[in-house]
Amino acid sequence: MADMGMDAYRFSIAWSRIFPNGTGQVNQAGIDHYNKLIDALLSKEIEPYVTLYHWDLPQALEDRYKGWLNRTIVEDFAVYAETCFKAFGDRVKHWITLNEPHTVATMGYDTGLEAPGRCSVLLHLHCRSGDSHTEPYIVGHNFILAHATVADIYRRKYKATQRGQLGIALNVVWYEPMTNTRTDIEAAKRAQEFQLGWFVDPFFFGDYPESMRARIGDRLPKFTADEAALVKGSLDFVGINHYTTHYTMDSNTVSSTAMGLLLDGTMADTGAVSVPFDIKNPTGDRANSLWLYIVPWGMRKVMNYVKERYKSPPVYITENGMDDSNNPLIPKEEALKDSKRIKYHHDYLTNLAASIKEDGCDVRGYFVWSLLDNWEWIAGYTSRFGLYFVDYENNLERCPKSSVQWFKTLLRSS
């Protein structure tokens, strides 16, 4: 990192390294591990940006009370977060409480494709249990209350001396209307409200978007007056994980048969269908992931949407990047020549710069996903997002891809 010229690094603390059972006895070895990492970063003048929760719930809490489905998680998360403030807050000045709560709520409790694999789609054919109509919203509600509770603790007990900030990192696809029709334009607007608005509106306005209230009804949890007061204003900055743009149409344009098979839960509630390419003009270049088409202008549209809807809040791009395939037939020397990645970052950063300089968006920082090739959730090791190639067959050797030199040159000139 120091060789590249980086001045900040975002990493996540694993809850179970601090509390192996989710609660109870603190694991000092975990505290020591992160102290060493933080001190090593600071010794190289690299500022730590620390995420407290990146999907790795201690198994004990899932077994004990079904994790994020139970309100008890709010108190347990607060104890874990405060333990981190006490141990690391003298050096960590930027905290990200949660990474992509929308992904957890929808993929974990609506489609069942991510942990803990709960859903009611397709008659439970691939989920043992769950309710796609209610559980995503319960989980999302508990995420929001967890952040607000932690922010309240930090502001009352630690902010005056530690002088840090707390934000949240949210996955934000830009939803572009498939056509210029009113129905598709409104569908794209709803899709964004059911994605970003779901987890940001409560922090700025004290409640969920009106479209969610109207379409979900009593299945959407309600904030008490005290909870709304706790939640509203509890974000110091908004973290945006942005990769791609999807094209959106009103779900009424899809056949009822397809709707019944493919849409349930939050997707049906949204009343919108989104695909990662323009059906009428399928010319966009794609990364390895099926969902990741390369659409640089979406970055600028996301930034302006956030600026206009939430009145110019401080924003960090907490993730942006693309993946290549981990193809064993491609020689390592060729895999290191990642020209597509260089163009991706050049074009996305150009649009980000325009949103700052020309549009007045308040963007404070930018993090590439990712420094190293990594385990990419359900894609495993088939996907390579890293600037550095990790040789899984040779003692995990790290080899710089061409994009490393490109970023070194960029950072030296900035």
pLDDT digits (tens, 9 = 90+) for 297-315: 999 999 999 999 999 999 9
- The confidence band for 126, taking pLDDT boundaries of 50, 70 and 90, is confident
In contact, 45 and 95? CB cutoff 8 Å: no
Which pLDDT does position 283 carry in this prediction? 63
Query: Does 259 have pLDDT greater than 90?
Result: no
Domain total for the chain? 1
Query: Does 28 have pLDDT greater than 90?
Result: yes
For residue 321, which of 362, 379, 368, 355 has the smallest C-alpha distance? 368
- The confidence band for 123, taking pLDDT boundaries of 50, 70 and 90, is low
- The confidence band for 390, taking pLDDT boundaries of 50, 70 and 90, is very high
Mean pLDDT, residues 345-355: 98
Mean pLDDT, residues 345-360: 98
Both tokens of 19, joined, read 């509390």
Edge-to-edge strands of the sheet including 47-51? Answer: 8-12, 47-51, 94-99, 165-171, 237-241, 315-319, 363-366
Mean pLDDT of the chain: 95
In contact, 167 and 238? CB cutoff 8 Å: yes
Tell me, what amino acid is at 161?
T
The residues facing 49 across adjacent strands are: 10, 94
Q: Which residues have a Cβ under 8 Å from the Cβ of 331 and sit 6 or more positions away?
A: none
Query: Does 260 have pLDDT greater than 90?
Result: no
Question: Which residues are catalytic, by number?
Answer: 100, 319
Compute the chain's Rg from CA coordinates: 21
- The confidence band for 262, taking pLDDT boundaries of 50, 70 and 90, is low
Which pLDDT does position 278 carry in this prediction? 86
Q: How far is CA 311 from CA 168, 306, 314, 361, in A?
A: 17, 8, 10, 10
- The confidence band for 292, taking pLDDT boundaries of 50, 70 and 90, is very high
Query: Does 89 have pLDDT greater than 60?
Result: yes
pLDDT digits (tens, 9 = 90+) for 90-119: 999 999 999 999 999 999 999 999 999 999
Give the other-Cβ count within 10 Å of 414's Cβ: 6
Which pLDDT does position 273 carry in this prediction? 92
Instruction: Determine which of 72-86, 223-237, 260-274, 322-336 has the lowest per-residue pLDDT on average.
Output: 260-274
Which pLDDT does position 256 carry in this prediction? 44
Q: Report d(CA 367, CA 52) in Å as an integer.
A: 17
Q: 60 is in which domain, residue-wise?
A: 2-411
Both tokens of 321, joined, read 């990047």
Instruction: Determine which of 13-17, 66-70, 99-103, 326-330 has the lowest per-residue pLDDT on average.
Output: 326-330
Query: Does 21 have pLDDT greater than 80?
Result: yes
Q: Is the peptide bond before 132 cis (omega within 30 degrees of 0)?
A: no
Look up the pTM and report it: 0.96
Q: Which residues have a Cβ under 8 Å from the Cβ of 365 and sit 6 or more positions away?
A: 8, 49, 316, 317
pLDDT digits (tens, 9 = 90+) for 156-201: 999 999 999 999 999 999 999 999 999 999 999 999 999 999 999 9
Which pLDDT does position 341 carry in this prediction? 98
Rounded to 5 degrees, φ, ψ at 271 are: 70, 25
Q: Which CATH number is 342's domain given?
A: 3.20.20.80
Which pLDDT does position 124 carry in this prediction? 62
Mean pLDDT, residues 408-413: 95
